[in-house]
Structure 1
Amino acid sequence: MSLATAAAGTAPEVAAAVRSALESVFDAVAATRTDTADLLAKVAAEGRRPATVDLAALRPGLHLRLARNELVSGVGFVAAPGLLTDVPAWLEWWQSGSDGDVRPLLLDLDPEQSAYADYTHWDWFALPRDTGERAVAGPYVDYLCSDEYSLTLSAPVQMEGRFAGVAAADVYLRHFEAAVLPMLRRLPGPAHLVNARGRVTASADPAHLAGSLTKGPDFAAVLRRARPGRFRGLRLVPCRDIPLVLVISPR
C-alpha cells in the first residue's frame, strides 16, 4: 500500500499504511545490516580486524538502495568506536543529492578537532546499541549529513556476538509528512505519530507539532505490547513492527 495514495480512514488502516511505507525503508536498513555482518564475519574469519578499506565493498549495495527507494535520502553503516584499525570512528555513508547524484558523506571525525567525532549519544546509534532492536530517531536537524529535518531508521550490527555499529537510513521529514499527513487528516480526531520516546514524527494536530514531545503515555510499553490502548482520552495505536505509535486525541 502506498502512503501517498492510500485512502485510509480508520486508525488501523493509517497505522498499517505507515508500517508499509517505513517497512520499505527498514528493508534497506536490513539489507545493509546483512551485507555488513557478512563482510565483518569474512574479515574475522581471516583472523584480522576490519579497516575502512574493507567497508568499500558495501558501496554497490548502498548505491542500489538509494536508487530504488524514493523515501531514502541517505544510507550506510556507522561503525562503533574502536571497531576499525585505521580510524577511531567512521561512517560508510552515501546520500542522494538534489540533482539525483549519489555521493559519499565526507566528515572530519578527528576527536581533537570535530564536534561530530562522538556520534554515540545520538538516538539512532544509542537505541539500537542499548536495546538490540531497530529504532526510529527524530525528527531532528541532521547537521551530520544533510542539514535537513530528518528521521533516521536504524538497526544494530554485530561482529562475533558483539555490537559493531548500526546500519541506518535517513528519510527527509518533508517527504514523510507529505506522505502521511493526508491520511492523518482523515481520522475522526486530531492525530499525530510518535516514536518510542514520545517524539512527534508527523502531526495533523496543532497541539502536537513535529519534533515536540508528547508526555504522559509510556509509548515504549505500547510498542512492546503491540496492541492498541488508551491514556487519558488519547487513543494509542502501534504501527505493528515499526517503532511508531499513532496517537488520536478526542475532538
Structure 2
Amino acid sequence: MAGGAGAVSVGERAVAEAAAKVSEMLERVFATAQETGEQAARLLVRARARDRRLSSRDLTELQPLLRRQLARHIGLISGTGFVASPGLLADVPAWMEWWQTRVGGGVQPMLLDLDPATSAYSDYTHWDWYALPRDTGERAVSGPYVDYLCSDEYSLTLAVPVRLDGVFSGVAAADVYLRHFEAAAGPALAGIPGPAYLVNPRGRVAASNTPAHLAGSLVRDLDAASARGELLLHPCGEIPLVLVTEP
C-alpha cells in the first residue's frame, strides 16, 4: 500500500540509511581510538605507581596493540596511536607513539623529529585533532586536511581525550584517508535524491554527492540556513558529523 501521511519517503529513507552507515563506520574508528586511550592511561597509572614519570620507552608497550588495530581495519584506518601532552614525558619534550600503514602493505612506526630546534612540525598542539579534544573534553572529527605530519594524504582524524586523574594528558587518535572514507560513504550519499554532504563541526565537508560542495570545502552559517528552512541538518548518531540536505 502506497502513500499515507505517516509514510516514509524514498528520500527520507536514503538519508536515514546514509546517516546510519556513516555513524556505524566512524564509531568503529572511535572505538579504536578509545581502546588506545584506555591502554595509554593504564601505562600512565603504572608509571605513577612506580613513583616516576612516564617516558617514551614506556609507550613502546602500545605497539602490539597499534599493529593489531591497523591489521583489523585494513582499508579504513591508515594510522593510529597516542599523542602525549607536551611536558608529560620525562625524556622528551613531545612524543607521538604512532603506527601507520605502509605503501604496498604492512605497517610501520612513524618516526618524527619533534625537536622544536629542528622541526617545523614540533608543535602539534594547534592542530584541530589535538586542540578540540583538549579544549572541549569531547571526541572530535578533524578534517579533511592534508596530513603533512604523517602521510601527506588528504585525511580525517578522529581523536579522543586521554586523562589521568581528570587532567588532560594527550589524545588517542586514528586517521582515515579521505579516499577511503569517500569510497565507503559515497554510495550511501549517491542514493539520496538531491544534494547531500557531510560536514564536521567547523563546517568542513568530509564527503558529498554534489560538485557544489566538494570534500575539503568550507560551508558557513549552516545553523542560520537551517533556521531559515533552506537546509536540513541530520545528525549521524553520536558522531560529530552532520548530514546536510535540501528540503
Do they superpose with TM above 0.5?
Answer: yes
Matched letter for residue 245 of structure 1: V
> Are 2:235 and 1:248 equivalent residues in the alignment?
no
> 1:129–1:49: structure 2 CA closer, same or farther, 3 Å change rule?
same
* Equivalent residue number for residue 6 of structure 2: none
Q: Name the SS of the counterpart of 1:98 in structure 2.
A: coil
Matched letter for residue 110 of structure 1: D
* Equivalent residue number for residue 225 of structure 1: none
Shift of residue 177, structure 1, vs aligned partner: 0.3
Matched letter for residue 130 of structure 2: F
CA RMSD of aligned residues (A): 1.5
* Equivalent residue number for residue 62 of structure 2: 58
Q: Normalising by the residue count of structure 1, what TM-score does the alignment of the two structures yield? A: 0.90
Matched letter for residue 36 of structure 1: A
Give the Cα–Cα distance (whole angstroms) in 1 for the partners of residues 43 and 30 of structure 2. 20
Give the Cα–Cα distance (whole angstroms) in 2 for the partners of residues 150 and 119 of structure 1. 16
Shift of residue 196, structure 1, vs aligned partner: 0.9
Q: Percent identity?
A: 61
Determine which of 118, 121, 127 is the counterpart of 1:113.
118
Structure 2: tracts of 5 or more residues without a match? 1-11
Shift of residue 160, structure 1, vs aligned partner: 2.5
* Equivalent residue number for residue 230 of structure 2: 233
* Equivalent residue number for residue 42 of structure 1: 46
1:1-48 per-position Cα deviation (integer Å, ceiling 9, x unaligned): xxxxxxx95212110110001111111101001101111111112111
1:198-213 equivalent positions in 2, closer than 5 A: 198-213=203-218
> Are 2:161 and 1:156 equivalent residues in the alignment?
yes
* Equivalent residue number for residue 16 of structure 1: 20
Matched letter for residue 196 of structure 2: A
Q: Name the SS of the counterpart of 2:113 in structure 1.
A: coil
1:183-194 equivalent positions in 2, closer than 5 A: 183-194=188-199
Q: Name the SS of the counterpart of 2:222 in structure 1.
A: coil
Shift of residue 207, structure 1, vs aligned partner: 1.3
> Are 2:128 and 1:123 equivalent residues in the alignment?
yes
> 1:86–1:231: structure 2 CA closer, same or farther, 3 Å change rule?
farther
Give the Cα–Cα distance (whole angstroms) in 2 for the partners of residues 15 and 231 of structure 1. 23
Matched letter for residue 137 of structure 1: S
1:88-118 per-position Cα deviation (integer Å, ceiling 9, x unaligned): 1110000011221110101111101111100
8 Å CA contact 2:186–2:208 kept in 1: the answer is yes
Q: Normalising by the residue count of structure 2, what TM-score does the alignment of the two structures yield? A: 0.91
* Equivalent residue number for residue 172 of structure 1: 177
Matched letter for residue 10 of structure 1: A
Give the Cα–Cα distance (whole angstroms) in 2 for the partners of residues 60 and 246 of structure 1. 36
Aligned length: 234
Shift of residue 230, structure 1, vs aligned partner: 5.5
Give the Cα–Cα distance (whole angstroms) in 1 for the partners of residues 92 and 228 of structure 2. 47
Give the Cα–Cα distance (whole angstroms) in 2 for the partners of residues 9 and 97 of structure 1. 38
Matched letter for residue 191 of structure 1: A
Matched letter for residue 179 of structure 1: A
Greater CA radius of gyration, 1 or 2?
2
1:20-99 equivalent positions in 2, closer than 5 A: 20-70=24-74, 71-99=76-104
* Equivalent residue number for residue 4 of structure 2: none
* Equivalent residue number for residue 222 of structure 1: none
8 Å CA contact 1:9–1:183 kept in 2: the answer is no
